[in-house]
Amino acid sequence: MPSVTNTKPAADQDSIPTTATTIATFDATHFRASGARGAIVRYGPYVVPPSTAITPEVTFTDTSATKPCDDCLITLIQAGLEFANGTTVEGSSAFRLESAVLLDTARSDTTCGEGESELPLTPLRFFVSGNERVPVSLSANGTQKTGYHLTTPSSLFLLTALSNRPLTPPPDPAAPTPEPIPLYLTLTFEYIHFPLPQGFQSVLPAWLDIGGCVDSTLPIPAPAPNTSADTFSLSAPNPWTVSRDISGRIVAVAGLLNNGATGLQVLKNNESVCRPLVLGTKPAQPSSQEPRHQQTESELL
């Protein structure tokens, strides 16, 4: 059983028993001729507080999450959110997947420089999803024979942030506030087992975060003079510079934007190298009235 910590304030700490179950296997979308398979793993239950709680958002830390496979090349990951009976939590619901992050504790993070973390090894970050829950293809939708190598020694570290926030505007102000409720995170994986067929390669994830190496949260700065109070600019404290021992091509780009951000650009020598597609209107995404999370998949030019 995975070890799970509920990161609520100390006074509200609970010991929350969880399980992880592979609820389905299927033929993968791409690379079937190369033996690709798919699996859906369900993690939980994660009990979300009522919307009247002082902190309606809670983060669960799973230090040894169940892996979909051993010694395999993961080509696609997609997050989902379900109620106990298996029905999907719609994106317009008050219950939201604020974020789901996967880290590999057997490998050091690509973009963490020496001295940036107090840990002897900063786990490698390789997947994130918000409430939009779009698939993240590590093979550029099957056009590249690439994926993330999940080794046998790899141990998955799973961070799941969930919230229960009133709808804006509420459909009925007199309606009772939802009670705490158990939710389940699902992760859909597509993968190919090693030894790999000819031509397949493992990618090196490079996680570019506003907080740099560890923390993804920074305070919102005061607006610049003569600008809107709703507009601000932030930069990572320690921008990552590609080391000389890393070479190759960029296969795919995926990003998670928070707090009303409306677009993502990837630039090379100040020129755009991708076409960003910002998603915000599909059923599994947040209401357009409150664009808390948007995920961008970018097609490289």
Provide the residue ranges of all domains of the chain, joining segments of one domain with +: 4-215+235-242
Q: Tens digits of per-residue pLDDT, 115-132?
A: 666 555 689 999 999 998
Residue 107 in this model has a pLDDT that exceeds 90: yes
Looking at 66-122, which runs of residues are DSSP E strands? Answer: 72-83, 95-108
At 240, which amino acid appears? W
Q: Tens digits of per-residue pLDDT, 160-176?
A: 999 987 765 555 555 54
Q: Measure the CA–CA gap between 136 and 279, rounded to whole angstroms.
A: 13
Residue 280 in this model has a pLDDT that exceeds 60: no
Q: What is the mean pLDDT of the chain?
A: 79
Q: Measure the CA–CA gap between 222 and 196, rounded to whole angstroms.
A: 51
The token pair that represents 108 in the structure block = 């050091």
Is the CB of residue 104 less than 8 Å from the CB of residue 126?
A: yes
* pLDDT of the residue at 290: 35
At 251, which amino acid appears? V
* pLDDT of the residue at 170: 56
* pLDDT of the residue at 28: 96
Beta-strand relationship, 274-278 and 72-83: unpaired
Confidence category of residue 270, pLDDT binned at 50, 70, 90: confident
Q: Measure the CA–CA gap between 277 and 275, rounded to whole angstroms.
A: 7
Q: Tens digits of per-residue pLDDT, 185-242?
A: 999 999 999 999 999 999 999 998 887 776 777 777 777 777 776 777 777 777 788 8
Q: Which residue has the higher pLDDT, 77 or 96?
A: 77
Q: Measure the CA–CA gap between 88 and 81, rounded to whole angstroms.
A: 6
* pLDDT of the residue at 276: 59
Bond prior to 169 in cis (omega within 30° of 0): yes
Give CA separation, 89 vs 80, 82, 184, 228, 271, in Å. Answer: 8, 5, 9, 35, 39
